[in-house]
Structure 1
Amino acid sequence: MASAVALAMLCFVASPARAQETTRLSLAERVSRLEQQAQNQNQGTALVNQLVALQSQLQQAQGQIEELQHQLQELKDKNKAQYVDLDARLTRLEGGAGATAANASSTPAALHDAAPGTAAAASTASAPASAATVPQPAKAAAAGTNAASAAPAPTISADEQAAYDAAFKALRAGDYVTASRGFRDFIQQHPSSALAPNAWYWLGESYYVTMNYPVAREAFQRLLTQFPQSEKAPDALLKLGYCQLELKQTDAGKATLQSVISKYPGSKAAGLAQERLRRLNAPAG
């Protein structure tokens, strides 16, 4: 009987201890769970931050792509405008040369752009249509006066003409590498030819249309230095200014364009120079 009472008392004493231990284990588990939840939340926050950072980088990349696309479109538009300008010039010059060939059988074969003396030959060849109304003495006097004042037209050999025409044909076809090589070879072989100023000019154009502005600038400058009285001088000076502007030499480019206006007033080159200066000086926006 006594032993039974002792056992009961022992169980009674042990029960609170077990209950306390159970409570401790429960609290530890709860703390562990809370810590795990906090850790999961931190990881989720880190993932969210990484996602936000990636989205920001993606937006920046998209902005850069759009800017590059815009710059590429501007370059395409500029190149197209230059090509259209060049094609228009070639078409006008080719048409003028065709009329000269039809009216003057003594003109050298197919000068696609006006060589020195070609314009004079064309006007002389077309003179008979109106000269029929001029009395014979007057015509004789006029002929004597023209013969005394007109300088002899420079001669162009068949080799010069063939080499020049081949380079110009490549230029018209858009083969600018072959054209530039052909014009350079022509200049080296015929530096004093009557076609040399034209060759320098179209050499510069072949580089300008491909946006090789430093080399184009050199070609236009050489024409102006060696042949300042050439019919190509106004256009060469204009394109020199364009090259300087493209190379970010703004002050020099503006000065060159102003020089075109002062040296060649009333010319088409002067009109283009005025228009370019107007756009350069126009307020932004």
Structure 2
Amino acid sequence: MLIMAPAKTALLRATLLTVALSLPALPAAAGPLSIFKRDGGEQQTTIQLAQASDPRVAQLEEQVRRLNGTVEDLNFQILQLQEQIRKQLEDMQFRLDQMEGNAPGQGEGQSGSLPSEEPERAEAEPTTLTPAQEARAEMSEEVPMDAVEHSPYEEGAAPELGSPPRDLGNLTLDDLGNVSATENDLPATDETTVASLPPQPADPNAIYSEAYNRVLAGDYVGAESGFRQFSERYPEDPRAADAQFWLGESLRGQERYADAVEVFLDGTKTHAQSDKAPDMMLKLGVTLAAMGQKDVACETLKAIPDRYPDTTDAFRSRLHQEEAAASC
């Protein structure tokens, strides 16, 4: 019995060793890797929940929504502006077409054929000149020699101060020296008779010269009155286009831009063949720019070279200056 016990113990050990060797090998890192992956997923879920509950995330989302709404409003405003610009361009094109179609058949200076040479115009003034300064710069070419206003009295002649003296009547005195009777041969005046003002000068040279001198002096109100009177009385005068131009400049000097636009626009149609037509169209664009009508002003200025291709280099240089000033 004592000998069998150790033998059984050795047999049991050998059996256990054989069973252990017969078992398949298990990966050592299987357990820890599985645990790591599970712990990582839980950690990611925890981070997402924390972000969702953070008020700053909600604020950022609200800001994004507001920005999206602002972008939509801006897009709508851009569409509106584009529509307004399109309408203005169509209106300007319509006006230009009317100017071409309604031009008079016998414009100023048009007698079957255009003159072969145009007189040089002084268009090289800087864009900052006032109408009075422009008038001074163009004085030598705008005012003819016979338009200078001279004194109505010849040298050495005395002016006639009223009518010849008349008999004012007789006075009859009594013994005390008092007036007893009067004899007045003056004609009786009707109560309805109103003293009339002296008539305005009928000489077109005097009217034009007076109005032009008022432009030089900066009296744009007086210049407007004079040039308007000249245009109404003498529409066939060779200086009618110049008077129309300076009438518009007088209104522009008073900052009455809407009235000036009408005058310049009418001048480009009424005096389409005049040498002043390009200047009036240029001033039309400048006045529109002063009114804030930038798009229409630029379209007007850009149409000048096609409408008047024979302008001088000085005029074209001035046109480029006005386009730059209007940011065309």
The TM-score normalised by the length of structure 1 is 0.47
Q: Which has the larger radius of gyration?
A: 2
Give the structure, 1 or 2, with the largest relative contact order (CA under 8 Å, sep 6 or more).
2
Higher helix share: 1
